[in-house]
Amino acid sequence: MERVAVVTGASSGIGAALCRRLLQEDAGIRLCLACRNMEKAVATRARLLVTFPNTQIFLIQVDVGSMESVLRAAKEIKQRFQRLDYLYLNAGIMLNPHIDCKAFFRGLFSRRAVHMLTTAEGLVTQEDRVTADGLQEVFQTNLFGHFVLIQQLEPLLSQLENPSHLIWTSSSNARRSNFSLVDFQHSQGKESYSSSKYATDLTSVVLNKHFNKQGLYSSVVCPGVVMTNMTYGILPSFVWKLLIPIMWLIRFFTSTYTMTPYNGAEALVWLFRQKLESLDPLVKYHSCISPWGKNYVEPRKMDLDEETAEIFYQNLLELERQVLMRLEGQQNIK
Ligand SMILES: NC(=O)C1=CN([C@@H]2O[C@H](COP(=O)(O)OP(=O)(O)OC[C@H]3O[C@@H](n4cnc5c(N)ncnc54)[C@H](OP(=O)(O)O)[C@@H]3O)[C@@H](O)[C@H]2O)C=CC1
Ligand SMILES: CC(C)CCC[C@@H](C)[C@H]1CC[C@H]2C3=C(CC[C@]12C)[C@@]1(C)CCC(=O)C[C@@H]1CC3
């Protein structure tokens, strides 16, 4: 039976490289690119079809930062497919990033230099904003929109005879200290990206707890440090011109400077090949690369506890209920 995979944020970077690599793995796969910008999606599909002319590539328009769009996309996916084997929750943003230069130079000459250069801990601050749904944009895009999508697609995902796999693109920047149950949307802090990725890790753990028995499994991946639109957005292009050669050198000392979207997608593709029962719900699968350019995957235990994950899950369900009710109210007025 042909496998079905949906990839959010498939129009560029790691998502686009993942699509190419999935087709290399299994040319018979039914691949669905779920993208915000349809012009970019059409162009990505056209590029894939040049290499894989006989494949089925579907397009779905979705803005995971808009509740209305997520609900519409979920409806369309349910109309098109009877089941989903893989749902890659990859779309993500980092809004208005700034590098803290002081922290950078302090960190560079400390024992934590490698840690700083691989996780960006304390190095990148951001300014978030509020969406039309009244939520923090980074939280809604990186986590909540995807969470609602999963809930809406449950009939396609929770089929015991046909297990499904959720695969989240998390980050090494996910940090417990940047997440709080009291302000889980991170409206008060300056590290909304880190908070949203930590929230992703918690969500994956708790989804496994609740849904494994119904045939739904969830995993988290860290693609490493990859040069994509998101990373290029952190610094001006002339600075990157200077930094990129240094980063290729750093690659010899750390396995997580994967640098290209192809390398960054390694763990995402590796999970595509694994037996679901063999996976550990408490680890993050890191895309790594050896100094000689060989890709491999390293599982690393996550810094979280299941109790916090459960409380957070209940908060997410409550928020979903409230947002859906508000949306219904607005539609009744129209
Ligand atoms: N690059 C890196 O070093 C790392 C990246 N990641 C994660 O990898 C994932 C992919 O990012 P990356 O490839 O680097 O960056 P890109 O900016 O290249 O890709 C991000 C993708 O997400 C899409 N997207 C953004 N916002 C929305 C939205 N509201 N609705 C739907 N799609 C949206 C973008 O679409 P559009 O083209 O329309 O903007 C784009 O296709 C992200 O989750 C990121 O957090 C994790 C660790 C490291
Ligand atoms: C080459 C170096 C001497 C200087 C590079 C400094 C920074 C630009 C980078 C150091 C750590 C990097 C990093 C990311 C972006 C680029 C750095 C800040 C991410 C935040 C990109 C998105 C993620 O999800 C995690 C990355 C962690 C490390």
CB-ligand 1 contact for 137 (6 Å cutoff): no
Q: What is the pTM of this model?
A: 0.98
Q: How far is the CA of 248 from the centre of ligand 2 (A)?
A: 13
Q: Which ligand is nearest to the CA of 260?
A: 1
**What's residue 333's pLDDT?**
77
Cα(116) to centroid of ligand 2, in Å? 8
Q: What's the start-to-end Cα distance of the chain, in Å?
A: 44
The pLDDT value given to residue 215: 96
| Arch. (CATH architecture) of 4-333 | 3-Layer(aba) Sandwich (3.40)
Q: Is 64 in the pocket of ligand 2 (CB under 6 A)?
A: no
Distance from Cα 94 to the centre of ligand 1, integer Å: 8
Active site residues: 193
**Whole-number Å distance between alpha carbons of 179 and 170:** 14
Centroid of chain to Cα 78: 22
Return the ligand number nearest the Cα of 258. Answer: 1
Is the Cβ–Cβ distance between 82 and 54 less than 8 Å?
no
Distance from Cα 334 to the centre of ligand 2, integer Å = 45
Ligand 2, pocket-test mutation among 171, 231, 248, most atoms within 8 A of CB: 231
- E strand or H helix at 230: helix 229-232
If you take atom 9 of ligand 2, which residue's CA is the nearest one? 117
CA of 81 to the centre of ligand 2 (A): 38
Distance of CA 11 to the CA centre of its chain: 14
Report the amino acid identity of residue 268. L
Nearest residue by C-alpha to atom 17 in ligand 2:
120
- What's the gap in Å between 32 CA and the centre of ligand 1? 16
Evaluate: CB of 13 within 6 angstroms of ligand 1. Answer: yes
Q: Are 19 and 101 contacting, i.e. CB atoms less than 8 angstroms apart?
A: no
Complex confidence, ipTM? 0.98
Q: Is 88 helix (H, G, I), strand (E, B) or coil?
A: strand
Ligand nearest to the CA of 286: 1
3-class DSSP state of 311 = helix
Considering only CA atoms, which residue is closest to atom 15 of ligand 2?
A: 231
What angle, rounded to 10 degrees, do the helices at 192-211 and 306-333 form?
A: 100
Ligand in closest contact with the CA of 200: 1
Both tokens assigned to 256? 């997580």
DSSP, collapsed to helix, strand or coil, labels residue 256 as coil
Rounded Cα gap, residues 167 and 88, in angstroms? 5
* Domain limits, the chain: 4-333
**Index of the ligand 2 atom closest to the CA of residue 225:** 26
Give, using CA atoms, the residue closest to atom 35 of ligand 1: 9
User: Read out DSSP for 161-224?
Assistant: TS-EEEEEE--TT--GGG--STTTT-SSSS-HHHHHHHHHHHHHHHHHHHHGGGTEEEEEEE--
At residue 35, the pLDDT reads 98
**Ligand 2 pocket, 172 CB below 6 A?**
yes
Asked if 92 contacts 228 with a C-beta cutoff of 8 angstroms, the reply is: no
Q: Under a CB-based contact definition with an 8 Å cutoff, are residues 133 and 67 in contact?
A: yes
Q: Which residues pair with 25 in a beta bridge?
A: none
pLDDT (tens, 9 = 90+) of the chain, 334 residues, equals: 899 999 999 999 999 999 999 999 999 999 999 999 999 999 999 999 999 999 999 999 999 999 999 999 999 999 999 999 999 999 999 999 999 999 999 999 999 999 999 999 999 999 999 999 999 999 999 999 999 999 999 999 989 899 999 999 999 999 999 999 999 999 999 999 999 999 999 999 999 999 999 999 999 999 999 999 999 999 999 999 999 999 999 998 899 999 999 999 999 999 999 999 999 999 999 999 999 999 999 999 999 999 999 999 999 999 999 999 999 888 887 6
